[in-house]
Structure formats: C-alpha cells, structure tokens
Amino acid sequence: MPQDAWFEALQYAAIVENEFVHHIELGALRCLVLVFVFLFFLFLLYLFLLYLFLLYLFLLYLFLLYLFLLYLFLLYLFLLYLFLLYLFLLYLFLLYLFLFVIVFQASCESSPTSGLASQVAIPLPRQNRY
C-alpha cells in the first residue's frame, strides 16, 4: 500500500510537472508570437517612415527644381532686358548719328564757307594802333 501511494504521488508529480512544462511552453510561445507581432509592426513603422522620408526627398527635389527653373526664367528675363536695352541704346546712337552728324554736316556743306573755303583763313581787319 505505501508503495502504491508513493507511486501515485510520483505519477501525480509527473502529471503536474508535464502540465507546468506545457504551460511554460505555451507562455514562451505566446511571448514569441508577441515578439514577432511587435517586430512586424516595427517593420511596418520603418516602412512608413521610409515612405515619409522618400516623399520628403521627392518634394525637396520638386522644390529645388522649381527654384532652378525660376532662376533660369529670371535670368532669361534679365538677358532679354539687357538685349532690349542694347537695341534701344543702338537706336539712340543711330538717331544721334543721323540727326546731328548727317543733318548738321549737310547743313554745313550748303553754307558758303564749306569745302575749300572753310580751310582758307579769312583776314581780319587791321586794328589801328594810333
């Protein structure tokens, strides 16, 4: 009899130990599943942050492209302004050349002192010293 009780106690202890080990294994498995779920959501967070960073880089690229194109457009306007200023100054110079050189020279050539007569010294009347 005492041996049967001892055997039953050992059987009961083995069953309890088996259940305890099974319970620990289930707990470890649950912990492992929680760790993998956490790592999965961490990976999703990493992908989302990577997406935000790439979106930021793309928007920065678009903004810099916009600034560069704006710079090119303003440079084009400035060069166009310089070219038009050059044309206007050329127009003023040709107008000056036509009005003041050609017209003035033509009016001088029609005067009696033009040509060879303009190169001859005109004698001044003598001043009386007495």
Q: What is the mean pLDDT of residues 116-130?
A: 61
Q: Which pTM was predicted? A: 0.49
Judge whether residue 113 has pLDDT over 70.
Answer: no
Q: pLDDT value at position 112?
A: 55
Classify residue 78: in a domain, yes or no.
Answer: yes
> Any idea how long the chain is?
130
Q: pLDDT value at position 57?
A: 98
Classify residue 29: in a domain, yes or no.
Answer: yes
Classify residue 126: in a domain, yes or no.
Answer: no
Residue 105 to residue 114: CA distance in whole angstroms: 10
Classify residue 124: in a domain, yes or no.
Answer: no
Number of domains the chain contains: 1
Element (H, E) at 9: helix 2-96
Dihedral sign computed on CA atoms, order 26, 27, 29, 33: positive
More confident residue, 34 or 66: 66
Classify residue 123: in a domain, yes or no.
Answer: no
Tens of pLDDT, residue by residue over 2-50, are 567 766 766 666 666 666 666 666 677 788 888 999 999 999 999 999 9
Classify residue 43: in a domain, yes or no.
Answer: yes
More confident residue, 85 or 129: 85
Classify residue 33: in a domain, yes or no.
Answer: yes
Residue 101 to residue 26: CA distance in whole angstroms: 110
Residue 123 to residue 112: CA distance in whole angstroms: 16
Residue recorded with tokens 């029609």? 110
Q: Which residues form the domain of 77? A: 2-106
Dihedral sign computed on CA atoms, order 44, 49, 55, 61: negative
The amino acid sitting at 19 is E
pLDDT band at 106 (very low <50, low <70, confident <90, very high): low
Q: pLDDT value at position 58?
A: 98
Classify residue 114: in a domain, yes or no.
Answer: no
Tens of pLDDT, residue by residue over 82-105, are 999 999 999 999 998 888 877 776
